[in-house]
């Protein structure tokens, strides 16, 4: 990477920031997309030209500033071109999760009043066309994949839109800048729909001022510099990925690589070697599992060296947490082994050049963070939500406190309400929900405090610990309030357990639904000479004994009212397709419990 300059975010809008980078670093690589024989690149000059063609093309189609434009696609360069092209036209972008069903897409595009929608391919176009009658305002689809052809005058290829835009620019060279100049900090930039874990998704109204304020605050905190490399693989419809690999990348002049899919991240990391890497806890768990499995294949002297390194690493992390001091007799041998063993592990993962690694979007187990710290990968935890434009708090890289989500980012105020709810004020707080005055008034009170819906507490130096969602609090039959989040996190931390949902609302005690990790359970079955298969193994007495030990260990850390008395192993893992998880891999608690109500009732009926 070239010598980095100090982080700075120029421009009053993300469109201004983009134009500034196109003028300033035209020859620098902006985007990289995977192809069969390598990676295609797009420089900032080419990026600027493509975006201007999209803007001019939309203008030529009669799309005017203030209208809403949908984007329904997997992560790819065209997603960014469509997004920035629409924003530069003064439009409001309305992203749709690529996993959305026709009905879900219809809700977002209809509620979001999209007049045009960019779609990736024939499959996603078909989902929109299936519900066209429910979308009277939607006039046109624009398909990214050039090979797709539709016998429909309302469907246009992305390349055709760019050709239309190029022709318009030839006739009217100032159309791009004249449209971009209409965008102001107060202009609505995007409607980001909530993941809908507890109800229909709501369109969060985020302005250009929200975006730029948040970027200026978080980039200065995390010291993200010009020329960083980022790997984009989480849904761009989610505010976290959008802020990092789309907007922050533009703001600092970074380079975004597009992974082919979530399943290829491990391979794409090897090529990209990001300097800034953001992932959700489930991805960090999978990376750990892969490393542990690889280390488990070592034997003899190599195994002794690896065990010595990881053991020293755990002690070093513990010393830093408890005493903020590492004795020289631990530090020196650890540093020597880290230069050899640790460096090789980091290189094999593809994170050997990463200086900022972030976990967010869901709680991560502290022991998982400690494990990454012990191998020289100091992952920091960030907390926020769509309604705060992404980050609210973040552990500073140089002052990380594992088990917390850090202090408020610069300029943000956080306080705890009498009932434990986390309240937020700052330039990152959204304008409310689109066409939903009632929900907006519940979100932002008369004093301007945003009610996060989460509960937690601040320590004596302002570091926040989140203990759960208010709506997820379990009130037992005896009236005890129990936050299930930490119990579930401890259950999931065992390698065999993929997901856990704790149940107990209005009941005399807690129970849990568990799913098994497919890879871990296959390895366990092989080691114990069992026939693989989740359904059969879920009833295996040896596996039940192992899971009993897991539950007992989790219970020992808690008061009696927080004990999980019974559990059931489901025959399948939760999936996005089944509606059990959000696209960012958070469990939809209500859907899971509703789908397994008979199993839950049976657990309570037994006693």
> What is 473-605's CATH number?
3.30.300.30
Distance in angstroms (rounded) separating the CA atoms of residues 165 and 175: 10
Q: Where are the domains of the chain?
A: 15-183, 281-469, 473-605
Q: Which residue has the tokens 């700052």?
A: 426
Query: What integer pLDDT is reported at residue 540 of this predicted model?
Result: 85
The predicted-structure confidence for 300-328, as pLDDT tens digits, reads as follows 988 898 889 999 999 999 888 887 788 88
Neighbours of 336 (CB within 10 A): 12
Checking if the pLDDT of 2 tops 80, the result is no
- How confident is residue 200, by pLDDT bands cut at 50, 70 and 90? confident
CA 543 to chain centre: 32
Q: What is 281-469's CATH superfamily? A: ANL, N-terminal domain (3.40.50.12780)
Give the whole-number percent of the chain exceeding pLDDT 70.
97
The predicted-structure confidence for 122-142, as pLDDT tens digits, reads as follows 999 999 999 999 999 999 999
Average pLDDT over residues 208-224: 93
Average pLDDT over residues 463-483: 89
Query: Which residues in 9-39 are b (16+ Cβ under 10 Å) and which e?
Result: bebebbbbbbbbbbeebeebbbbbbbeeeee
- How confident is residue 214, by pLDDT bands cut at 50, 70 and 90? very high
Q: How deeply is 254 buried, as exposed, middle or buried, from its count of CB atoms within 10 A (0-12, 13-18, 19+)?
A: buried
The predicted-structure confidence for 23-67, as pLDDT tens digits, reads as follows 999 999 999 999 888 899 999 999 999 999 999 999 999 999 999
Distance in angstroms (rounded) separating the CA atoms of residues 286 and 47: 34
Distance in angstroms (rounded) separating the CA atoms of residues 355 and 46: 28
The predicted-structure confidence for 325-379, as pLDDT tens digits, reads as follows 888 888 899 999 999 999 999 999 999 999 999 999 888 999 999 999 999 999 9
The predicted-structure confidence for 505-519, as pLDDT tens digits, reads as follows 989 999 999 999 888
One fold for both 15-183 and 281-469?
Answer: yes
Query: What integer pLDDT is reported at residue 480 of this predicted model?
Result: 84
Checking if the pLDDT of 227 tops 80, the result is yes
Query: Which residues in 217-248 are b (16+ Cβ under 10 Å) and which e?
Result: bbbbbbebbbbbbbbbbbbbbbbbbbbbbbbb
Give the whole-number percent of the chain exceeding pLDDT 90.
75
Checking if the pLDDT of 21 tops 50, the result is yes
Angle at 467 between CA 464 and CA 469, to 5 degrees: 115
Name the token pair of 276. Answer: 């800034």
Checking if the pLDDT of 8 tops 80, the result is no
Distance in angstroms (rounded) separating the CA atoms of residues 55 and 88: 6
Checking if the pLDDT of 607 tops 70, the result is no
Neighbours of 325 (CB within 10 A): 9
Query: Mean pLDDT in the chain?
Result: 92
Whether 104 and 97 have beta carbons less than 8 Å apart is answered as yes
Checking if the pLDDT of 5 tops 90, the result is no
15-183: CATH class = alpha beta
Distance in angstroms (rounded) separating the CA atoms of residues 118 and 69: 8
Distance in angstroms (rounded) separating the CA atoms of residues 279 and 398: 20
Query: What integer pLDDT is reported at residue 1 of this predicted model?
Result: 35
Average pLDDT over residues 271-288: 95
Distance in angstroms (rounded) separating the CA atoms of residues 495 and 4: 39
User: Cα-flanking dihedrals φ and ψ of residue 314, to 5°?
Assistant: -65, -40
Q: Per the confidence metrics, is the pTM higher than 0.85?
A: yes
Checking if the pLDDT of 4 tops 50, the result is no
User: Cα-flanking dihedrals φ and ψ of residue 392, to 5°?
Assistant: -115, -50
């Amino acid at each position: 990477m070239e010598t980095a300059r100090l982080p700075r975010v120029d421009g009053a809008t993300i469109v201004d920031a983009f134009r500034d980078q196109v003028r300033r670093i035209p020859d620098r690589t902006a985007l990289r997309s995977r192809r069969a024989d390598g990676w295609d690149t797009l420089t900032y000059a080419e990026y600027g030209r493509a975006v201007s063609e999209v803007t001019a093309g939309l203008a030529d189609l009669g799309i005017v500033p203030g209208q809403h434009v949908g984007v329904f696609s997997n992560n790819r360069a065209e997603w960014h071109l469509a997004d920035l092209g629409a924003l530069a036209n003064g439009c409001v972008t309305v992203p749709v999760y690529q996993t959305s069903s026709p009905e879900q897409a219809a809700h977002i595009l209809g509620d979001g009043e999209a007049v045009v929608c960019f779609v990736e391919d024939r499959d996603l176009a078909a989902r929109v066309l299936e519900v066209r009658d429910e979308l009277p305002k939607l006039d046109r689809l624009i398909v990214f994949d050039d090979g797709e052809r539709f016998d429909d005058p309302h469907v246009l290829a992305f390349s055709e839109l760019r050709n239309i835009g190029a022709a318009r620019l030839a006739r009217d060279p100032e159309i791009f800048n004249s449209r971009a100049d209409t965008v102001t900090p107060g202009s609505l930039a995007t409607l980001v729909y909530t993941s809908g874990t507890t109800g229909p998704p709501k369109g969060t109204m985020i302005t250009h001022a929200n975006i730029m304020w948040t970027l200026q605050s978080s980039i200065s905190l995390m010291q993200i510099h010009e020329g960083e490399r980022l790997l984009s693989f989480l849904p761009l419809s989610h505010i976290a990925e959008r802020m990092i690999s789309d907007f922050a990348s533009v703001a600092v002049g970074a380079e975004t690589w597009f992974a082919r899919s979530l399943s290829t991240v491990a391979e794409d990391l090897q090529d990209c070697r990001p300097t800034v890497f953001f992932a959700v806890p489930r991805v960090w768990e999978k990376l750990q599992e892969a490393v542990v499995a690889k280390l488990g294949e070592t034997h003899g002297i190599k195994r002794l060296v690896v065990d010595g390194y990881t053991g020293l690493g755990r002690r070093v992390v513990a010393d830093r947490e408890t005493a903020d001091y590492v004795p020289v007799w631990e530090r020196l041998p650890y540093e020597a082994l880290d230069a050899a063993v640790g460096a090789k592990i980091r290189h094999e993962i593809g994170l050997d050049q990463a200086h900022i690694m972030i976990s967010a979007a869901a709680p991560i187990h502290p022991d998982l963070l400690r494990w990454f710290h012990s191998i020289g990968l100091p992952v920091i935890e960030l907390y926020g939500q769509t309604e705060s434009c992404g980050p609210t708090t973040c552990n500073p890289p140089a002052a990380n406190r594992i088990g917390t989500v850090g202090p408020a980012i610069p300029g943000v105020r956080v306080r705890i309400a009498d009932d434990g709810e986390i309240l937020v004020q700052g330039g990152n707080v959204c304008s409310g929900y689109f066409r939903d005055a009632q929900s907006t008034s519940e979100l932002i009170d008369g004093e301007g405090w945003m009610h996060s819906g989460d509960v937690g507490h601040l320590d004596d130096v302002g570091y926040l610990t989140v203990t759960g969602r208010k709506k997820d609090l379990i009130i037992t039959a005896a009236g005890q309030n129990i936050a299930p989040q930490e119990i579930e996190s401890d259950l999931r931390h065992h390698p065999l357990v993929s997901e856990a949902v704790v149940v107990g609302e209005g009941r005399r005690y807690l129970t849990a639904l568990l799913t098994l990790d497919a890879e871990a359970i296959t390895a366990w079955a092989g080691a114990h000479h069992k026939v693989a298969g989740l359904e059969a193994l879920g009833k295996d007495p040896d596996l039940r004994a192992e899971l009993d030990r897991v539950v007992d260990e989790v219970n020992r850390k808690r008061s009696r009212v927080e004990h999980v008395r019974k559990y059931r192993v489901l025959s399948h893992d939760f999936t996005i397709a089944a509606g059990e998880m959000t696209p960012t891999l958070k469990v939809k608690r209500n859907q899971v419990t509703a789908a397994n109500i008979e199993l839950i009732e049976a657990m309570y009926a037994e006693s």
